[in-house]
């Protein structure tokens, strides 16, 4: 049976393609039909006709399953993994925001800029900043207030 049926594979794929309308689906159903027919080790009088009937039955079974409603799908098939890379638009917007922030930071008086960077970038406390710069905590608070007010006035929705 194997040699005569293998020679007719192209005809079976064309037959299944007419039924499904898709070449890949036709290839799949022909493969399933071969597996089913060859798996039952009995002698078949007309293997080509039997395979065509098996193909039609497989497609009908699939249509009935789809008509019954949703099937149980493994959870792995439902999970969509987001691309960890940001989109080109997000990269462009982030670069623009950084450029604008650096421009606004450059507009601060040098001491206020230094205090702001020590606090927000370096993570230093006001007392640590005051000790390192030799200024009072009140002066550190004044510089931070000046920097924050500057960003509030000029940054809009940047921050």
Q: What is the pLDDT along the chain (159 residues), one digit of tens a residue?
A: 455 556 688 888 888 888 878 888 888 888 888 777 777 656 777 777 778 888 888 888 777 777 776 656 566 655 666 667 877 888 888 888 888 888 999 999 999 999 999 999 899 999 999 999 999 999 999 999 999 999 888 876 555
CB neighbour list of residue 144: distance below 8 Å, 6 or more residues apart: 112, 115, 116, 119, 126
Nearest alpha carbon to residue 124 among 110, 133, 105:
133
Give CA–CA dist 122/8, Å, rounded. Answer: 75
Give CA–CA dist 137/128, Å, rounded. Answer: 9
């Amino acid at each position: 049976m194997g040699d005569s049926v293998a020679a007719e594979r192209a005809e079976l794929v064309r037959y299944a393609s007419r039924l499904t309308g898709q070449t890949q689906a036709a290839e799949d159903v022909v493969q399933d039909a071969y597996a089913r027919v060859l798996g039952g080790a009995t002698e078949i009088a007309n293997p080509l006709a039997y395979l065509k009937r098996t193909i039609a039955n497989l497609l009908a079974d699939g249509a009935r399953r789809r008509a019954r409603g949703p099937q149980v799908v493994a959870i792995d098939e439902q999970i969509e993994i987001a691309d960890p890379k940001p989109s080109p638009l997000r990269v462009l917007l982030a670069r623009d925001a950084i450029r604008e922030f650096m421009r606004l930071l450059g507009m601060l008086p040098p001491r206020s800029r230094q205090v702001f960077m020590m606090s927000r970038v370096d993570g230093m406390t006001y007392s640590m900043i005051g000790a390192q710069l030799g200024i009072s905590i009140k002066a550190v608070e004044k510089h931070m207030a000046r920097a924050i007010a500057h960003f509030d006035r000029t940054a809009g929705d940047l921050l």
